[in-house]
Structure 1
């Protein structure tokens, strides 16, 4: 698929978006691909290029690929999809303010200010004041992560019409309210119907752990702007009490169950991979084995190359191929570590051949495409230099 819309290209290639409404559309697109055995590939082209000059097919596109000339044809291709109710979403964005100039996230801690003048913390001398400014900026090694917390705080203030003068310094009542709002979503809770309150207030809930980081960002913002810390130990204790209660209420919402993986999804994944390629062969072996052996993704991947440990992760010698008494091929995995196993205990899992998605076949293919030594990672591939690499979780998800 070719499009002049960079956003369409990005979310289609990733398969996900920050927008709930877009994610619903992407799910429909993926369902169509799985149902029809096709794959949509996306490329960007400048809007001024004529559609007639765009090639209708080129490698690596194949007979099961969809080529669409431009962005406006996407809706035409999928107009026959059954309509699904779209959630009412409100784009949450900051109101423009002279106190919050446009800048990088790592500069917001210092450049976003308030109308109030902070109390003096040094004598009035340009050298001393300059040294204090240098010390403030050097106190934090990385301030990029604070930008998200400040952005969320000002969103809350905009929604509830908090004046700029009350944001810096912020009172305990304001920050406590900010914490309650940020982790709640009354639109998905029975509380709204019990209290008969309006659900017109927009919500963009985050987890309790992230909320604590956002409070730390507001705390750092106050100090960087010359104000005392906004919360005392007693204030933190009260906010943590509320967050703990809300965490108990919204755990099911914060961590929803993932939809089940289906055979159609596996078929859709398989047709997009080139099984003679070492990387793709490893990805397909991981997907097939994780599905049929009911393994967690962390059991077929590692966090980093240095994290691979033969005593904890599967190696090639942990796989045994055989034939049962009825003459049917099977595979056995000897798990070096498992959640249900005692320390040092090895658990074995078995699987027989299972049609076109069979993990036994995928393991045979992986062994032929990526030949390695017995102590090398089971799910591994070799790069352009021939070096054997364990499959890293983040690289696989990309």
Structure 2
């Protein structure tokens, strides 16, 4: 006999709870995941016989295939692979594609230039391990004792800043491959402090002298502005200087590295002005080291004299006429049977600047000296400290170190009460 309760009971309209980790809810319209990522890097099929420096003999290993430096942190595999388990220790099933995707996504936290720089540290680490005949299982996760032993052996051979990069390179390799990193911050700080103190004189960088307007005027005297290459160099030099940009933001590392989604093109240049009618030319840099996703704007205003960036940029456009989607400072090259445009590489730029300096009896300056010189130039013009820091995108007060070395910058701030209003406006607030 059927009970009345069962006869009167209404059918349930609730859905059964889905198994943990799944859902019946549809994805929002248009949503597709996983999203498409760039193709993963591949080992080189025909590597050069001397892919690595001769003083760093790396033993062959299937875990470390020959590849481009910037791909090394991804393609060089640790012997110990990451394991996927939940909080109760139960295994989580993942595929090789899943692993590759995690590594690619994680590596995107680092700029290409950072990956390339870190690759040297990973190479030196494995060369050291090869020399000590350390088994692969001891290299990752690397114990704090092994890292300390490695750093103690290379301290005094390289500069402190180089050793810092080496260490962070090995740490990034651990992070990308999901291997635990054993060293704590106190250990890292202590050994790096020692490495800086033990920097050999041969590895100490000479003082980076700043570019000045006078120095650039003399360089420009040696550049032939009707020559395609020289026209590009002159425009790049003055645009980089008066915008306070990094040289690498207006040049490319290698000819094959140019990509219009990463590097500035004529399409990224626009004219602008404020409500007072002051005009500036703005350059949208699609990707920078500090803003790899959104990019940043830099800009300059027309200047007096032969270093006027506006006149030199227009001259470059007239001589070279790069298209909207070519490198901003691409120049005509007749090295082949037909004329082509080449993006301006940092190496070629610096070589031409050095040649111009020597031709005028000047000592060549380093590329970073352009940004330092720009900072000093605008400070000397009385631009407020905080405005310089914000405009030229100094993330810290590192640029203040230059003030101690240039008395003429501080001279106005050391004058009598006559300059009180000027000092109040330009000197950063006391914190």
TM bucket by the smaller chain? 0.3 to 0.5
Q: TM-score, normalised by structure 1?
A: 0.40
Q: TM-score, normalised by structure 2?
A: 0.38
